[in-house]
Structures are given as C-alpha cells and as structure tokens.
Amino acid sequence: MPKKYIATPSRTKELLNKYGFAFKKSLGQNFLIDVNVLENIIHQAGITKETGAIEIGPGMGALTEQLAIHADRVVAFEIDQRLLPILEETLADYDNVEVILEDILKADVEEVIKTHFGEDQEIHVVANLPYYITTPILMKLVRDRLPVTSLTVMIQKEVAERMAAVPNTKSYGSLSIAVQYYTEARVVLNVPKQVFMPQPNVDSSVLKLVMRKEPPVQVDNEDFFFELIQASFAQRRKTLRNNLNRFLQEKLEKHQVEILLEEASIDGGRRGETLTIEEFAALANKVYRELSKS
Ligand code: SAM
C-alpha cells in the first residue's frame, strides 16, 4: 500500500483529532496539506541526498517528512512543545531527522550546523515560516552569514515581493535592499490558500534566497548604510533630498547635503525608490566620510 503522507487533509485531520491539537494563531500555525506543493518547494530549494536541510517550524511534520525523504539529514527547530509527541509519531520511520525544541530567534544555528552536519556539506534552509515573524527570522539568518547555500521559504506573498523587488516598483524599499545585500532573492512559486489548514487570510509565495559570498557593494559602515536607506524611504512620496535633509539635520547643512548628492552623481529630486543598491552605497559612503571628518 502506498504510504499516506502527513501533508494530506485526511491525515492532518486524523492527527489533530487524535492529539486534540488546537492551532495557535499566535504561533502562525498554518499547516501544509498538499504534497505536490512540498515537492515543488524541495525541488526549488536544490535538496538532494547529499545535502543537509534546516527547517524552521516543522508543525506536524508535513515538510519535514518530505525533507527526510529527499535530503541526507534534517534538523528542525520547533517552538511549540505540544507538537513533540505528534512529531515523534509522524517521523518515527525516519532516522535522519532531529527536532530541536527551541525558538529559532534564540537558537545558535551556527553551533547546530557544526554539530549536526558534515564539514563542507551543502546545507539549505527550507521552511513554511510562521508569518508573524518572517522578517526577523530571515534577517537573523542572513545577517549571521550562516554557512548555508540558500533559504527557500513560504511566506506572505506581499513580503516575498518586497524582499525580491527591483528599483522603480511599488514593492521596492529598505527591506528589498537589506535582503539583497546578503542574498540573491527571487519569488519561485505562488501558492493558493487552499493548500493550508487552516487557510491563512493572506496570499502566500515561496521565496528563494541564495546567500552571496560577498556583498554586491562595498560600504564603509554597514549600520550607517542601512540607516541612510531607511531614512531615504521614511516618507516615500518625498524626494531623496527632503528625506536626507531630515535625517542629517543636526549634522550637516543643506548645501553640504547637496554637494554630497552631486559628488555621488545622484539627483536629489529623485525618490528613494529609484535608487539602486550601488547608488545607495556610493551616497552612504560619501555621507559617512563627511560625517567622520567632524
Ligand atoms: N512546517 C509545517 C507545515 O508546513 O505544515 C508548519 C508550518 S507553520 C506555518 C509554522 C510553524 O512554526 C508552526 O509549527 C509553529 O509552531 C512554528 N513556530 C512559530 N514560531 C516559531 C519560532 N519562533 N521558532 C521555531 N518555530 C516556530
């Protein structure tokens, strides 16, 4: 008899009833009930029998099971203790999975990688993320420059579009640049609400982030670079000049800001959303050097 995967409506309901499990909305619990979507995610992630996988939020194990089948080893971080006995049952047939009961935001993922995967093994993060903390999770993982090749994650469609957005689009903003400084970002799949139980209120997409070995631009001070970008989008409808003057008002005169814009070959009448990451880097370096003089 073919195996009945966890990611089916009937098996999911069966498990919910058996364990009397009630979804916690506050933990972003929307479980996947469609194996085709899961196989597609795993394919997009580049998972093979040689690769390791890190999952965030295994839930009842729908994605974990598919990762166990397709990857060499799987380590999954789950915050909700109530899911442990369920996972013990659903993953009993797989000896290449370890579930760690821990908040991913507090976990030392680098240490876990060192202790659970082979040296030089290619590792991918694959997850159907809890939507309430998508951005903090992804920013933590990419900023920590973990030794992983890519992150392929199901997230809210609108957030996926913002993370992968290019200049001169409505979705482009400081989040796009923050993500693209560390990774190459691309939306690989749009997913209908029907593949989740319970169905979320928002649309979902799968985003693939491939870690960069080096940032695409050289910046003198990363914190200042990101601060300047945030400030440039503070009031989206206003010009870059306007936003910058507000950001730098206690530090530089308006005419100094004008000179720096000119030196960076950027028209202050443009809006932040038209600037490429290279232009932001050139501008941030000019301003940072000027501020460092005083
Ligand atoms: N992977 C399962 C699936 O696709 O069916 C469940 C995905 S569900 C969208 C998100 C999961 O993340 C839930 O199991 C939830 O308990 C877990 N979770 C929420 N916050 C977490 C955190 N801070 N650290 C680790 N897991 C978390």
- Comparing CA positions, the residue from 281, 194, 185 lying closest to residue 232 is 281
Q: What is the DSSP letter of 13?
A: H
pLDDT at 1: 44
| CA torsion, ordered 213, 218, 221, 223, to nearest 10 deg | -60
- Closest residue by Cα to atom 6, ligand 1, is 59
pLDDT, tens digit (0-9, with 9 covering 90-100), for 227-241: 999 999 999 999 999
| Pocket mutation for ligand 1, best pick of 12, 26, 29, 55 (most atoms within 8 Å of C-beta) | 29
The pLDDT assigned to 33 comes to: 98
Question: Could you tell me what percent of the chain has a pLDDT over 90?
Answer: 98
Q: What confidence tens digit (pLDDT) does each residue in 238-286 have?
A: 999 999 999 999 999 999 999 999 999 999 999 999 999 999 999 999 9
pTM of the model: 0.96
- Whether ligand 1 lies within 6 angstroms of the CB of 59 is answered as yes
pLDDT band at 4 (very low <50, low <70, confident <90, very high): confident
Ligand 1, residue 57: give the atom nearest the CA. Answer: 12
Q: Judge whether residue 294 has pLDDT over 80.
A: no
Average pLDDT over residues 116-145: 96
- Which SS3 state, helix, strand or coil, does residue 39 take? helix
Tell me the helix, strand and coil percentages in the chain, rounded to 5: 45, 15, 35
Rounded Cα gap, residues 42 and 39, in angstroms: 5
Helix (H, G, I), strand (E, B) or coil at 74: strand
Nearest Cα residue to atom 11 of ligand 1: 57
List of domains in the chain: 9-211 (3.40.50.150), 222-293 (1.10.8.100)
CB of 122 sitting under 6 A from ligand 1: no
* C-beta of 80 in contact with ligand 1 (< 6 A): yes
Between CA 23 and CA 176, with CA 59 as vertex, the angle to 5 degrees is: 100
* pLDDT, the chain, mean: 97
For 94-121, the three-class secondary structure string (H helix, E strand, C coil) is CCCEEEEECCCCCCCHHHHHHHHCCCCC
| DSSP element (H, E) containing 78 | strand 73-78
How are beta strands 97-101 and 73-78 bridged, if at all? parallel
Annotated binding-site residue? 61: no
Q: Is 146 annotated as a binding residue?
A: no
